[in-house]
Structure 1
């Protein structure tokens, strides 16, 4: 019987029990002979770090239980302690220097170039040719995010995009009409200003300044819409400090410093969501992953595509992956068995109903229960349709996490009023250029 240990996200998002869990697994193995003998003839022991919390974490637990019930030859055990999704790359990078790394980890698609170059990352290209996997059924953008220079490093886990959610009651109270699909960023700023009320602690919208990717990826659509980009075509130079970049960050600075309509969230985008759920935030830039929480909080919300620039409503999408790592062939095969089941249409529809995530397979939209899913999450049809506005992905370079960190700092300094947009972006670009110039990047 194969034994898979899933290490989930603890309440603090910090894995303090990895070594203890590994030691416990070793003790279990001694009951059936030596670890080497067990790996050769007995249960295959695997770990998976999923980093999911809240409704997503609960859904994974439920699906793992069902997998165990239907696959007596494989057992999936969930233990707390793995990093959150945001902290997965640095934690995994450290783990890969030893033997304490997992067999499967949930990683953002933008991290694929970083992890693909590690020799411990499994090449799943041959496995994707198995008809049972249904590789062609995944959306093209997902397959691309999971493939680096012809090497498939994982299975698609999530596909999403950014939209604007708005509180219907709050906008109506401020005498503001609900935004229409053809709205602009000037409209966005005006609505945010009108729905801000300092006396009641109500803000028009929010922006993270926590230093993570959540602060950065919302800026890219504004730059793309204005004709700019993140990096040069060869990914060797930063270009986000162009006029388009200055215009984008300047808009946000005006909202934060001049209008006081921007709540600056120093937590990992958590306080902003709580404000929206409690009716003290007019608009919230987010995606399908929050719909389950909004439903639980009974928020009367609407959904609309991002404001546009000259009719361009380009958004950002972040396909994520279940990446597989090599210990031995049996474990890689066992990992693909689990992921084939987990990413199958029936399981994914249940995950979608639990979390509000978008369909990662085209076939899911043809399942009888898909219409029930659409009814459960008002506005999910808008978010699904918004995938057509997701035309670009974040730069496929191993240095992207460092670039992101530099830009996140520039955003924080600008929105806090400590720097103007040009100065902050120019400094971030100089740091990025130095990082991008490092050999092997």
Structure 2
């Protein structure tokens, strides 16, 4: 799902990891025991544990032990990095797809390339963006865990109050700007939309679809230079600057905890760029909302997807094989429909929509049908380079300075591009 740039101290994490590892002693007899750090919370944690319990009951040769890993998904990368150093790593861990280039470099990350060739796994049934996110330089390091994409959620009552009709699927970014301005009511504390300026990936990932739609890209094809500072990037950030500085229709969110969803739930935002994970909360809040694909450029409504992975780590061959067997079962259509129904996640396989019960899933989460269909607009993933977190931080800073009126889009992006080029020039990217 969404990437969070993590800077937790590795030394402290080692101490946590030492007590939670999977152990490295080879299991010669009896069931193969494997450990999974799922990083999930609340409903998602309960669902994954329920599924694991079902697997253990039906697969006596394998015993899966689950734990959150002591962290949420946001904190999993430093936790795993430390655990790998101390040989206290699990067999399986939930990791954001954008972390794949970093974790694939570790020699203890398993290679499942041959495992996924098994016809029974139906590897091609996963969406292309998911397969791309879990494959680094031809090496498959795990199985797809979650797929999402960005859409626009809108508050039906706020639009009606502003005399606006809900946007249609063919709307443009100019429409978005005009509607956000009209829906803004400063006296009532209502804004057209929000944008994060806290320096994280949350600030950046909404910009990339705008750049892609206009024919631009994040990096050059060889991943050696920045490309986001071209005309497409300048137009995209320039539009956001106009909304924030001129129209005053953007709530600039400087909180690391990100207030956007809470503001939307409390009817203080007309539009909110987000994904499927917020739908259960919106329903619980009783909000009357609608869902529509991102505004488009010249008919292109490309969005961004953040596939996450179940990554497998080596202890011995038996455990790697058992991990692959378990993940093949967990990611099969039937189990995934249960996970989706519990959590509101999107289908990670095309075939899931053919199952009995899929229509019930759509009815349970109003708007999920739009987000599911929007997977067709998720055509690219963020560049698979270990330097991406640094690139993201440079662009996030450029966005913040621009939306605060401290720089124009061209100058801010040019500075971020220069920093990106310098970072990419360092060996190891």
TM-score normalised by the chain length of structure 1: 0.88
CA distance in 2, matches of 1:178, 1:24: 49
> CA contact under 8 A between 2:40 and 2:68: conserved in structure 1?
no
* 2:300 matches 1:312: yes
Find the counterpart in structure 2 of residue 9 from structure 1: none
* 2:88 matches 1:89: no
* 2:210 matches 1:222: yes
Find the counterpart in structure 2 of residue 256 from structure 1: 244
> CA contact under 8 A between 1:121 and 1:325: conserved in structure 2?
yes
CA distance in 1, matches of 2:411, 2:16: 47
> CA contact under 8 A between 1:164 and 1:304: conserved in structure 2?
yes
Secondary structure of the structure 2 residue equivalent to 1:40: coil
Q: Report the CA distance shift for 1:21/1:76 in structure 2 as closer, same or farther (over 3 A).
A: farther
CA distance in 1, matches of 2:163, 2:385: 46
Q: Offset of 1:163 from its aligned partner? A: 0.8
Which deviates more, 48-57 or 404-413? 48-57
Pairs within 5 Å for 1:64-79? 64-79=52-67
> CA contact under 8 A between 1:18 and 1:81: conserved in structure 2?
no
Q: Report the CA distance shift for 1:278/1:181 in structure 2 as closer, same or farther (over 3 A).
A: same
Which of 302, 314, 334 is the matching residue for 1:346? 334
Q: Report the CA distance shift for 1:249/1:167 in structure 2 as closer, same or farther (over 3 A).
A: same
* 2:424 matches 1:436: yes
Find the counterpart in structure 2 of residue 41 from structure 1: 29
* 2:363 matches 1:372: no
CA distance in 2, matches of 1:206, 1:358: 24
Find the counterpart in structure 2 of residue 238 from structure 1: 226
Secondary structure of the structure 1 residue equivalent to 2:169: coil
Q: Report the CA distance shift for 1:404/1:334 in structure 2 as closer, same or farther (over 3 A).
A: same
Q: Offset of 1:241 from its aligned partner? A: 1.1
> CA contact under 8 A between 1:291 and 1:355: conserved in structure 2?
no
Q: Report the CA distance shift for 1:72/1:390 in structure 2 as closer, same or farther (over 3 A).
A: same
Q: Offset of 1:118 from its aligned partner? A: 1.8
Which of 306, 321, 344 is the matching residue for 2:309? 321
Deviation per CA, 1:411-435, whole angstroms, max 9, x where unpaired? Answer: 2222233332222212211111111
Secondary structure of the structure 1 residue equivalent to 2:211: helix
Q: Report the CA distance shift for 1:46/1:406 in structure 2 as closer, same or farther (over 3 A).
A: farther
Find the counterpart in structure 1 of residue 188 from structure 2: 200
Which of 388, 406, 429 is the matching residue for 1:400? 388
Q: Offset of 1:14 from its aligned partner? A: 10
Q: Report the CA distance shift for 1:83/1:405 in structure 2 as closer, same or farther (over 3 A).
A: farther
> CA contact under 8 A between 2:38 and 2:68: conserved in structure 1?
no
Which of 349, 353, 363 is the matching residue for 2:351? 363
CA distance in 1, matches of 2:64, 2:333: 20
Q: Report the CA distance shift for 1:272/1:24 in structure 2 as closer, same or farther (over 3 A).
A: closer
Deviation per CA, 1:157-181, whole angstroms, max 9, x where unpaired? Answer: 1122111111111111111110111
> CA contact under 8 A between 2:146 and 2:309: conserved in structure 1?
yes
> CA contact under 8 A between 2:211 and 2:228: conserved in structure 1?
yes
TM-score normalised by the chain length of structure 2: 0.90
Deviation per CA, 1:191-243, whole angstroms, max 9, x where unpaired? Answer: 11122222232221111223222221110011111221111111100011112
Deviation per CA, 1:55-95, whole angstroms, max 9, x where unpaired? Answer: 33332233233334444554444445544333433443343
Secondary structure of the structure 2 residue equivalent to 1:349: helix
> CA contact under 8 A between 2:36 and 2:67: conserved in structure 1?
no
CA distance in 1, matches of 2:354, 2:150: 24
CA distance in 2, matches of 1:230, 1:149: 19
Secondary structure of the structure 2 residue equivalent to 1:207: strand
Alignment gaps of 5+ in structure 1: 1-12, 30-34
CA distance in 2, matches of 1:94, 1:194: 50
Q: Report the CA distance shift for 1:268/1:61 in structure 2 as closer, same or farther (over 3 A).
A: farther
Q: Report the CA distance shift for 1:80/1:61 in structure 2 as closer, same or farther (over 3 A).
A: same
Find the counterpart in structure 1 of residue 113 from structure 2: 125
CA distance in 1, matches of 2:97, 2:108: 18
Q: Report the CA distance shift for 1:407/1:58 in structure 2 as closer, same or farther (over 3 A).
A: farther
Q: Report the CA distance shift for 1:148/1:90 in structure 2 as closer, same or farther (over 3 A).
A: same
> CA contact under 8 A between 1:86 and 1:212: conserved in structure 2?
no
